[in-house]
Amino acid sequence: QVRLGVVGCGLASGGLHGPGYAHPEIDLVGFTDRPSNYESKTVPMAERFSVKPYLSIDEMLADDSIDAIDICVKEPGHYEMAKKALLAGKHVLCEKAFTDSLDKAKDLIALASERKLKLMVVYNYRYMASVMELKARIDSGEFGDLTFISICGHGYTFHHSIDLLRHLCGEV
C-alpha cells in the first residue's frame, strides 16, 4: 500500500485525484496547500477525505510515513515542489505542465533516477480501457503500418492528445 500526500486543495485534487484514491492499494494520508490557505482550503479538504491537514509541503515531506506526493498545484510551482519531494525521498506524481523548461524536466528525471524514485506526470488517459485496447491492437500489427491517426479533444485537453499520439504511435 502506498501512503500518499496531496499538495494543492483545488479542483484537480478535490474533484479528480482525491476521489480516485479510494483504492485498496492507496492510503491517502493528508492534504496541504499554501500556509495562507490552511483554514480556508486545507482543513476542509482534509476533513472531506478524513485525513490529516498539513500546514505546508515542508511539514508533509517531513512525515516519514508518507511514501509519495501528488502535486496538484498550478505550474510554476511544480519544479520546486517535485525537487523538494524527491530530495526528501518521496515518489512524485505531478500534474501538467510538468515543468516550464526541458532542462528542469531533465533535472527531475535525473534526480529521481539517482534516488531510485518514481516520477510521473499525470497523463491518465493512457490508462483508460479503450486506449489500452487500442494500444494493444496497434502494437499487435492488427492495423498494419499506421500512416495517419487523428485525435479530437477540447481546448483544455490538447496535452492529452499530444501524449496519446506519442504513446500510441511513438516519438514524433
For 8-52, write each residue's pLDDT tens digit.
999 888 888 888 888 899 999 999 999 999 999 999 999 999 999
Half-sphere exposure of 171 (CA within 13 A, CB side): 0
CA separation for the pair 99, 28 (Å, rounded): 25
Residues 6+ apart with CB under 8 A from 165: 149, 151, 172
Give 63's contacts (C-beta < 8 A, 6+ positions apart): 5, 29, 30, 54
Say if CB 45 and CB 37 are below 8 A apart: no
Q: How far apart are CA 7 and CA 58, in angstroms?
A: 11
Nearest to residue 121, comparing CAs of 170, 167, 63?
Answer: 167
Predicted pLDDT at 74: 86
CA distance 98 to 108: 10
Query: Given this model, what pLDDT does residue 93 score?
Result: 96
pTM of the predicted protein model: 0.85
Average pLDDT, the chain: 92
Q: What is the pLDDT of residues 70-127, one digit of tens each?
A: 999 988 889 999 999 999 999 999 988 889 999 999 999 999 999 999 999 988 888 8
